[in-house]
Chain A
């Protein structure tokens, strides 16, 4: 017992100061992509970034280049391939969106470090005041690779201490206000996920975490038919990444519940 206390004192208090302070991220962290409108030549026929993208996250929309963070794995190959260095990855980790369209990044005349307004709207539902105090989520790994799962799990550790925000992962869908889905949701997971969704109590939130859950990501178009959660369920919150950084997930959840975030 004394040894336990001594070790606890030695290992110190380790919960991060977030949300009262910004998180500390690795120097090489790849966050929100930025396309420089002044230098990008995609509208003049350059396709360098589109050619190297493994998930077809880059596409021309009415002559303008767009990057779909819902497909992006943040591998950075496009940035390396861009002959104009017009495409860069910033350290912005706040990437979540309430809408699928809000995950698109278009060329911007602003510098890369200019603030970008959040695409998350607080959940528009009469239950929001209750959910802000207590939001229970049932995580379903719909053929995720265990990276998104790990970064959802880590929020429950003493580092992030998710329950202090009133958010908890629960075992039974009957105890849950919503589903948190990771993985591309291929055919072999569709029935189980549907049954789980049916058992969830209202308001039946759905959060899609990671490129796979949002769009099928890398696995879109394969024989196993993993095209992501939106193909089967109405998604309320999209959290992009491969996997999203734990802070990206936490930021998205907190904004969705209308809580204070840095």
Chain B
């Protein structure tokens, strides 16, 4: 029997078909896969099963891996022990997954170098938010800078501790959890009428990314075909989301450098892209746009033309704004060689999205794991080698250009037909889901890979629903980028990643 089962993005497998390995075999399989061909998308404890015969409960640990070169996903499981030798020392990409596992279930990865709280959820014996065994450095000239949870600008909340010697940051520790709203737990037993709205607000700047992933999960579990026109409109909306956020981040980077022309231009242009999304669904963030089966909104030829016209006006101004920055030596010197994440570190830590691509990793789920009906629509995946702030900034610019071309192509040749396949438009009631089934959906959001994994119980409701925002993978990348840098480089490094707090904290 194979030691894993493979599936494609946006499909499902019966839970009983997932091979159950001994913990040693499981560890060996993980090591072999991660060192040779795969990345980790998800690692989590499955639902608690009641074993009435032995009068105890049991659960399984699941790992979902992406084999990018083979365009497939691999899944395996192991019965959860009370404790097991941590995988993190050999596979650092699992470091946060194991911390999460310990926090949620008490299953202890022994020998984990960093077994601290992740989200500080409400548990009777858990520590209060912010009470953690922070890493400290002692010695002459060493000092500590603590920032947050509330930061200086209008941004989400999190706590950062810098261990510095003089101006040089030796280590940055990031402690989150302030945005924990308890969504993942609330998803269990669903879907309910709140489920789709929860998805749209997991990370409000990635509404399309998460609502598309969720809709894909429902389509896989209900064997619901997606309307081709709806799927194409989702892809358009996803790229609009990318355009708005990448443009906003280019402006924010310019602002942090103190280069105000690009900052001012991009601040406006970000809104122009959001307003194109609002043309489609009435909401600037793409709420009420995606639903299982397709989209809840339609677009006729006239609307598509208007969207393309406005897209090109905004795109031309973004080019102007970005090129000003690239032609200004003082801006470039502020970005180049700052906050470098080498390719090996990016791979070992499992970084995703533009941050990974800027460090040379060609991972982009749009190309390697196209969703049903999206094959052949993939975009060119750019990679850069430097891995510094400049690479992450220019990566945004390249992706803006790709997205503009992609949206234009899509809107000029939308498939004919309805935008939804579901009998009730807007999907106010979800079709019945296959029981005891596991489904996986990967969507390449603007920050990187959005991964949802759902497992249904006997009645076809969610026994477990796992959400991996790309930020979950990438926060450690920001910490690594700061090593050996000046503390004044932090705003730049931070903006070059622009990670989600609420997407991490859920």
Contacts and interface: CB of A to CB of B under 8 A. Distances in A.
A81 interface: yes
Contacts of B267: 154, 156-159
A231 interface: no
Contacts of B284: 151, 243, 245
Contacts of B152: 171
B128 to A, nearest CB: 8
Interface in A212-230: 218-219, 222-226
A187 interface: yes
A140 interface: yes
Contacts of B119: 188
Nearest to B159: A192
A26 interface: yes
Given A159-B268, A186-B180, A192-B157, A143 B502 contact: yes
Contact of A143 (B180, B207, B275): B180
Interface string B266-304: 011011000100111111110110000000010000000
Contact of A189 (B149, B186, B193, B248): B149
B21 interface: no
Contacts of B320: 7, 10-11
Bin the interface of chain A by size.
35 or more
B154 A75 contact: no
A163 interface: no
Nearest to A219: B181
Contacts of B426: 77, 80
Contact of A183 (B129, B179, B261, B327): B179
Contacts of B321: 7, 11
Interface stretch (B2-10, B197-205, B382-390, B473-481): B197-205
A18 interface: no
Contacts of B186: 222-223
B64 to A, nearest CB: 25
A222 B183 CA distance: 8
Contact of B205 (A139, A146, A223): A146
Contacts of B124: none
B255 to A, nearest CB: 10
Interface string A140-175: 111111111111111011110000000001010000
Contact of A147 (B178, B281, B285): B285
Nearest to A140: B150
Nearest to A91: B282
B181 to A, nearest CB: 5
B287 A149 contact: no
Interface in A182-240: 183-184, 186-189, 191-193, 196, 218-219, 222-226
B181 A186 contact: yes
A65 to B, nearest CB: 18
A141 B502 CA distance: 10
A74 B278 CA distance: 13
B258 interface: no
Given A26-B282, A75-B288, A152-B154, A218 B201 contact: yes
Given A4-B261, A157-B264, A188 B156 contact: no
Given A54-B197, A169-B154, A157 B279 contact: no
Contacts of B501: 146
Contacts of A186: 179-182
Interface in B203-256: 203-205, 207, 248
B325 to A, nearest CB: 10
B428 interface: yes
Given A54-B197, A184-B181, A242-B287, A3 B324 contact: yes
Nearest to B195: A54
A6 to B, nearest CB: 9
Interface stretch (A27-35, A115-123, A125-133): A27-35
24 contacts: A4-B261, A7-B320, A11-B265, A11-B320, A28-B279, A28-B297, A52-B428, A73-B287, A141-B155, A141-B179, A143-B178, A143-B179, A144-B156, A145-B205, A147-B201, A148-B204, A149-B204, A154-B270, A156-B267, A157-B264, A157-B267, A171-B152, A188-B177, A218-B201
Given A73-B197, A75-B287, 14 more contacts: A7-B321, A11-B321, A26-B278, A54-B194, A143-B502, A144-B179, A145-B205, A146-B203, A153-B153, A171-B152, A189-B178, A189-B179, A219-B182, A224-B182
